[in-house]
Structure 1
């Protein structure tokens, strides 16, 4: 899947929790940067300590 900078994605965490993250692009090392839409906190996927997946468009896990 090709990610689009500035686009929001629905994410399912390994706990089953559903989150909405905005993809902010890749840095010079190729790491993807995200922003949690609810909290406004940005992070690199290199720092994530849990499994997650991007849900297909229209799927909210409910």
Structure 2
């Protein structure tokens, strides 16, 4: 079965780190990236387990 889930940032900010790697198997709750917003760092985590198929962000992206 080919179920895909697209992740969108829950807030605007600057990408600090990208922890997800294309092809990587991840578990629900795994940190995928870190966003800085309003001088605070906010982890973005996976809501489901699966395999990363694409990564469209890089550190410094706003």
TM-score (norm 1): 0.29
Larger relative CO (CA 8 A, sep 6+): 1 or 2? Answer: 2
Q: Which has the higher helix share?
A: 1
> Comparing both structures, which one devotes a greater share of its residues to strand?
1
